[in-house]
């Protein structure tokens, strides 16, 4: 699990002020600009991209009276997903998971969502297009998002994040199927390392989804007035998704365990085959070689040597012995 | 787990209007026809086959005031079994499981049941004969179904679905026994792949039954007036069934694990036997071949070569050595 | 787990009417005979052997107003042990386990106990002598059974059934010890199959005892007036027994797992020994045979061949090489 | 787990009558003697050694009004540790564990403690010096034991018993270390049997400690007036001990599992080494022997045979081939 | 897990008296000096280094009215982490974990924290620089520590201890990665022993972190007035840390299990390769050697021997046979 450390974070502040009938979008450049919106009757969503500008974050924390512990959690991008209730705000830490092409390397990005009575603030490390769909839905004047509170907006953000997990899950599943095919047909030495990395990917996803489920469970049980009851049925939905992802991971994990077992048994079976080949060859030829050796001895008195049909007889003997052995191995199902 | 995507879904709406004393069956072709029954004093069951007609579903959702989330769950046939209570309705998502002939391929079909005070609506993807028995019981004017509420009808539907699971379980059990016989007697290379697929079938059934048990548990604890207390003793019954299926799957799973162990040990035992054969042959003939080799050497001064009984003696030596070795291996129980 | 299907069930109805001061025993032949006892002030125990006479069971169900679901559970002898409370009755389904001689085949028989305020009815498939001791205790005018309610009688029946489990457990334990001895000393091919069947027996007992513990737990927590508080201390006793049986099964199961491991390691060790024998023989004689082969070559100019002590030297070389090898293997602890 | 059945139990009754200011010790020979102390204001401890004198036990049960089930539990020395509350008494069944010298044989002795408002009665099978320390502390007029109630005395007894478990644990730990050393350095055939017995010892201790923890948990939650609140902090202490023993056993168990794995891998490694030796020898000499065989053929026209430097050349060839092979195996790290 | 027994414990008493506006530091040499601070309005922190001076500890226990059981827990440095509430004090037992350089040897030191309304007392075995940062923060007149109660100070101490665990975790993680690399590339005999010790280190950390989590959970749920509600959000933070450590250990443990599996499979694969080499060599040369042996026989009538091109033909036969075998093995993918 890696967060790209080399990318220079571009700081950007987007502000969406919305109500049932209106939507305004502002690009903020200084924290003071925000203050004018605080007294507004409208709900607003402040999306902060880039969490490494300490000065700015401090200013924002002062404007919105964010609890120091909440601020610390937002800045520390190694946080586990969690939901914490403060006096006038609820902090929801979530993790975006994505992989570029190859499933064996999963990237994580922390998305912190601060929910209050009439606004939400989101904090991201980098700008991703994940929330584009939500912006579009917000622009729709008939959509539910405009009518419902900021907690519903938080729900849609979380929903978008969890939908992304399913894409990873799909990729994992394809990889599992690929491994299954490889193991069932033919095996390579490097397979175990691949399986090991595959399992690690699963662990990483599980490490994020498991506490996410707890987050959702806490939200469901929360009695904070910020998290309205009306949002609950929607929440149940993503809770179910989180449970499904976990179950799915467990199932894939079990499949992988069985695959490793099959792999190891295949090695044993292959070894057995090698052993059989050796044994058949050795068992047939070692006695014959002994007989040949006997008649290669240089004793002076060896009556058979002078017998006319001796050489022919010995060849007949060789052929019959071999045929007998082959028959014996056939009967034992060694071929 | 596959739902056949190629089958063109035939849309069909059946409406059963029933009371203790009467039963009418209607084939609905337009959603407007339903409205006339809404005000009726009688209970009714609307069975909708084919969930892919978005327009129709939307019309029905409007007529019955179905919550948008409930509608979404009904349309999404990848839903986990669940029970969700809405204001005037309870949505029960369940899964039919069946396999055509071969147990290694399990098909799933979602059956959504929407229960209200005086009606239930069922949504299926395809028409199955699963509910035929229930139709027959509904036609019986003396049956309990006519007297009890729509939640009892929902119970009988769920009961029919879960009874179907037992048929799968039976097939799984037969397969387990078959595998047991195969492993105990003789083994083939492809056995592990079969076991792997067998285990996967179990996983798939468990994936459905586990949340079904939760559904039943939620129903039992529910305080919704739609789910009447009178239905509870019946519910206990199918709850027990779900528990039994889960226990049974666990037991079969454990058996399979033991069988794999036995299989692997059998391979080891077989390998051991091959090794013994090789070792016996090699141990007997390699030293004899050496001796024969010795008397095949061309040294000028080899006194034994001229001795008259040398050749006879060496044969006696060969036979005695072999007999000694055979005796030794017999004593070590290698034969 | 099998219930003998070929035995023609003998139908028999025993009625014990008892109070603190009296005991009467009646053999009932028609269900109408029972009605006369219903109004009696005395407690009674109706023992029905043979549950396949549908007509009779229906008559009895009508007389005692047994709930249709209870009746169904009584007739279906594949029921899991359970305790269910109905309006005026408590139904307790339990399972008798026994094995004739060989522990590897465990037979099950369902014993259903219907407890009411002043009577209990027991339903058995066949007549067993299991309850003889209870009959004797009932005949004792000073015994507790006469004084206490029918729920106490139910407790004694359950106690007798669970005591029987201990006998099976004892047999299982002996079998485990036998397997331990076999594995520790010597091993046969068929051992794994025996272990497999042994484990299955454990599973079968556990499958019955586990829900039985739940039954007892439900009884303990029940607030039904039929299950009197006075009986509770006695119940604790058999609850402890059920827990003990489960723990014991777990321990034996673990032992068996370890034994299988030992068995497999023994096979590996044996294989290693075979390999060593082969390697020692081959390593000693293959180089010697090569040397012998060298002096069997027919080159014209081979100076050693004419040397007088060549043959003697080569034997000395053979002996020394062999001794060296033997010393080397001894040092490596291969012998 | 064995209780020595051959030892003739010596019956002995010790009575300690104590209050904050006084302590008297009496040796009781007849149960009637006890009655005179019953009405005393002082607390007393009756220690009964030998539980097989049915007559005496019955007399004592009558004097102290012991519930028949409690008496049965006291007499049955196969009881699981448990705490049961009766009307005026609390029965605590505990198990003493000890091993004479060798940890592989663990002995169990049941110690039953009956706690009442102002007395406790302890029942042992044999006389052990386990409680000597407690007798000494009781004799100390300044000790806490004199001041506190009989439940505190029961706590000290249980504490002494659990302290004994730690001694066993220490021995087990030493054995685990010993096994670790044996496996890490060198292995013997009998090791697996030793490990098996070692694991069994752990199981036996766990079988006793696990329910003991439950006993302590029940005591902690009990609301019986006999078990005073003042004793609770002391109880927490031994509860922690029980938890620690269980955790420790789990850790040792895990270590043992890993050790077995290492042992099995060591066997595989050793087998691999044997295989390599064989393969190196065979791979080097079999081709050479073939070449020697070729020039041992008796064809008339074999031009090499007459070439003067043929014999020298072939030796050079032998040496070079061998060197090449050795180099190849070195590169493959087979040496 | 070892605590260095040879280090002579230096006894040292530090007293920090602090309030929002002031901070005094005193070095105490006699317990009587403390008494003068007891009546002060200020909060104070008494840090005691060296817990083996029984006399001093007893004096302190008397001054602060520490419960005898609490004192015992403080003195016994084998205690499990725990939180226990006494009448006016809360005792928190925690464990410092550290390793000097090599992660395979983890040292433990018990740090006991006694929290009261307006003071905390900490007991350490040795002086560590772990708390230096806290001293610095205490000196900061603007810091939160000065304003909050002693329970907040206890929290910061615990936080410092748990932060130390993360350092160990990091080291463990590096070791796991190192093992992964070793196993993936090349293997040595001693690897299993290393893995075994690595696992043991994990167990030791887990053994401390697990109860620490319970401690934090108990604190969170505690209703003691000493543990103020205001400290709770901070506590949540370290609770999350403890959970994270446990999850991380579980993940590493799983990785290690998979690595061992890979290691064992690698051995099997290597063995398979050795076997193949042997089989290929033997299968090619044993039949050829037999043929060479045949023409080394000394029969008088062997027509081939006199045929002019016999020798050439036999070499062609040798080469073709070898080529055929090589082709066969290539096709079977043995190379």
pLDDT at site B1: 40
Residuewise pLDDT in 10s, chain B (335 residues): 444 444 445 678 889 999 888 888 888 887 778 887 777 778 999 999 888 888 888 889 999 999 988 998 998 888 889 999 988 899 999 999 988 877 778 888 999 999 999 899 999 988 777 788 888 888 888 888 888 889 999 999 999 999 989 989 989 999 988 888 888 776 666 688 888 888 888 988 998 999 999 999 999 999 889 999 888 888 988 898 999 999 999 989 888 888 888 888 888 888 888 889 999 999 999 999 999 999 999 998 888 898 989 999 999 999 999 999 999 999 888 87
Q: CA A21 → CA A24, A26, A40, A142, distances in Å?
A: 11, 17, 14, 9
Report CB contact under 8 Å: D292, C287: no
pLDDT tens-place string over residues C308-335 = 899 999 999 999 999 999 999 998 888 7
SS3 B8: coil
Question: Which of C142, C254, C291, C297 has the highest number of chain D CBs within 10 A, making it the mutation to test binding with D?
Answer: C297
Whether the CB-CB separation of E205 and E249 falls below 8 Å is answered with yes
Query: What are phi and psi for residue D228, nearest 5 degrees?
Result: -70, 150
Minimum distance, in Å, between the CA of residue E279 and any CA atom of chain D? 9
Which residue from B258, D185, A88 is spatially nearest to B266, judged by alpha carbons?
B258
Whether the CB-CB separation of C61 and C38 falls below 8 Å is answered with no
d(CA E224, CA E151) in angstroms, rounded, equals 11
Q: Looking at residues A149-162, what average pLDDT do you find? A: 92
Radius of gyration of chain E (CA): 35
Token output for B272: 């051991």
pLDDT for residue E1 is more than 60: no
What stretch of H or E contains A215? helix A191-221
Sheet holding C107-115, edge to edge: C23-28, C12-18, C43-49, C119-124, C107-115, C90-98, C82-85
pLDDT at site D187: 60
d(CA E327, CA D37) in angstroms, rounded, equals 100
Residue in chain D closest to C231 (alpha carbons) equals D69
| Three-state secondary structure of chain C | CECCCCCCCCCEEEEEEECCCCEEEEEECCCHHHHHHHCCCCEEEEEEECCCCHHHHHHHHHHHCCCHHHHHHHHCCCCCCEEEECCCCEEEEEEEEECCCCCCCCEEEEEEEEECCCEEEEEECCCCHHHHHHHHHHHCCCCHHHHCCHHHHHHHHHHHHHHHHHHHHHHHHHHHHHHHHHHHHCCCCCHHHHHHHHHHHHHHHHHHHHHHHHHHHHHHHCCCCCCCHHHHHHHHHHHHHHHHHHHHHHHHHHHHHHHHHHHHHHHHHHHHHHHHHHHHHHHHHHHHHHHHHHCCCCCCCCHHHHCCCHHHHHHHHHHHHHHHHHHHHHHCCCC
Share the mean pLDDT of chain E: 87
pLDDT at site D7: 44
Contacts of D308 in chain C (CB under 8 A): 301
Token output for A305: 């040597």
Residue in chain A closest to B70 (alpha carbons) equals A233
d(CA D309, CA B156) in angstroms, rounded, equals 99
pLDDT at site D39: 76
Q: Residue ranges of the domains in chain E? A: 12-265, 276-331
Report CB contact under 8 Å: B334, C86: no
Contacts of D244 in chain E (CB under 8 A): 80
pLDDT for residue D87 is more than 90: no
SS3 E296: coil
Which residue from A90, A133, A75, A97 is spatially nearest to A235, judged by alpha carbons?
A90
Which residue from C251, C45, C33, C191 is spatially nearest to C131, judged by alpha carbons?
C45
Report CB contact under 8 Å: D290, E295: no
Cα-to-chain-centroid distance, residue C52: 27
Which residue from B211, B204, B214 is spatially nearest to B249, judged by alpha carbons?
B204
Q: CA C230 → CA A206, A327, C139, E82, distances in Å?
A: 51, 78, 22, 41
d(CA A104, CA A100) in angstroms, rounded, equals 9
The torsion of the CA quartet A319, A320, A326, A328, rounded to 10 degrees, works out to -160
Confidence grade of residue E10 (pLDDT, cut at 50, 70, 90): low
Contacts of D258 in chain E (CB under 8 A): 195-196, 199
pLDDT at site A2: 42
Minimum distance, in Å, between the CA of residue E234 and any CA atom of chain A? 7
Report CB contact under 8 Å: D290, E293: no
What stretch of H or E contains A328? helix A310-331
Report CB contact under 8 Å: A314, E299: yes
Whether the CB-CB separation of C153 and C233 falls below 8 Å is answered with no
The torsion of the CA quartet B245, B248, B250, B254, rounded to 10 degrees, works out to -160
Give the nearest partner residue to A270 out of E258, E272, E302, using CB atoms. E272
Give the nearest partner residue to A278 out of E259, E282, E302, using CB atoms. E282
DSSP character string of D171-191: HHHHHHHHHHHHHHH---TTH
pLDDT at site B186: 60
Minimum distance, in Å, between the CA of residue B218 and any CA atom of chain A? 14
The torsion of the CA quartet D323, D325, D329, D335, rounded to 10 degrees, works out to -50
SS3 A242: helix
Query: What are phi and psi for residue B26, nearest 5 degrees?
Result: -125, 140
pLDDT at site A189: 63
pLDDT for residue A212 is more than 80: yes
Which residue from B124, B121, B120 is spatially nearest to B150, judged by alpha carbons?
B120
Chain A interface residues facing chain B, Cβ-Cβ under 8 Å?
A: 180, 184, 233-234, 236-237, 240, 243-244, 247, 251, 254-255, 258-259, 261-262, 265-266, 268-269, 271-272, 275-276, 278-279, 282-283, 286-287, 289-290, 293-294, 296-303, 334
pLDDT at site B2: 42
Pick the CATH number of C276-331 from 1.10.3430.10, 3.40.1190.20, 1.20.58.340, 1.20.1440.230: 1.20.58.340
* ipTM rounded to 2 decimals: 0.76
Within 13 A of D251's CA, how many CA atoms are on the CB side? 22
Low-confidence ranges of chain C (pLDDT < 50): 1-8
pLDDT at site E289: 94
Which top CATH class is D12-265? alpha beta
d(CA A109, CA A98) in angstroms, rounded, equals 8
pLDDT at site A6: 45
Taking every pair of Cα atoms in chain C, the longest distance, rounded to a whole number of angstroms, is: 124
Which residue from A155, A109, A132, A108 is spatially nearest to A14, judged by alpha carbons?
A132
pLDDT tens-place string over residues D165-213 = 998 998 999 998 888 888 877 666 668 888 888 888 898 899 899 999 9
Q: Looking at residues D12-31, what average pLDDT do you find? A: 87
DSSP character string of A279-320: HHHHHHHHHHHHHHHHTT---S--HHHH-TTHHHHHHHHHHH
Residue C39 or A174, more confident: A174
d(CA D334, CA D311) in angstroms, rounded, equals 32
């Amino acid at each position: 699990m890696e967060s790209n450390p080399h990318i220079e974070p571009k700081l950007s502040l987007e502000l969406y002020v919305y109500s049932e009938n209106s939507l305004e979008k502002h690009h903020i450049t200084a924290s003071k600009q925000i203050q004018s919106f605080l007294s507004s009757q409208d709900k607003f969503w402040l999306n902060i991209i880039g969490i490494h500008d300490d000065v700015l974050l401090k200013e924002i924390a002062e404007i919105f009276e964010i609890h120091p512990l909440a601020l610390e959690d937002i800045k520390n991008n190694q946080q586990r997903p969690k939901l914490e209730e403060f006096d006038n705000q609820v902090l929801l830490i979530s993790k975006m998971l994505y992989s570029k092409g190859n499933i064996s390397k999963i990237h994580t990005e922390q998305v912190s969502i601060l929910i209050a009575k009439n606004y939400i603030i989101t904090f991201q490390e980098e700008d991703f297009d994940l929330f584009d769909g939500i912006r579009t839905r917000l622009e729709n004047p008939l959509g539910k998002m405009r009518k419902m509170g900021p907690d519903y907006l938080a729900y849609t953000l979380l929903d978008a994040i969890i939908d992304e997990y399913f894409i990873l899950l799909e990729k994992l599943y394809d990889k599992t199927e690929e491994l299954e095919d490889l193991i069932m047909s033919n095996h390579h030495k490097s397979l175990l390392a691949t399986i090991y990395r595959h399992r690690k990917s699963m662990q990483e996803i599980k490490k994020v989804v498991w506490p996410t489920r707890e987050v959702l469970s806490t939200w469901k049980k929360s009695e904070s007035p910020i998290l309205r009851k009306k949002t609950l049925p929607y929440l149940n939905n993503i809770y179910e998704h989180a449970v499904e992802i976990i179950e799915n991971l467990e199932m894939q994990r079990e499949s992988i365990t069985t695959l490793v077992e099959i792999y190891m048994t295949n090695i044993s079976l292959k070894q057995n085959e090698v052993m059989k080949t050796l044994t058949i060859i050795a068992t047939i030829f070692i006695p014959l070689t002994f007989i040949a050796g006997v008649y290669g001895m240089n004793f002076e008195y060896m009556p058979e040597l002078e017998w006319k049909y001796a050489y022919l007889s010995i060849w007949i003997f060789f052929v019959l012995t071999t045929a007998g052995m082959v028959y014996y191995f056939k009967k034992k199902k060694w071929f």
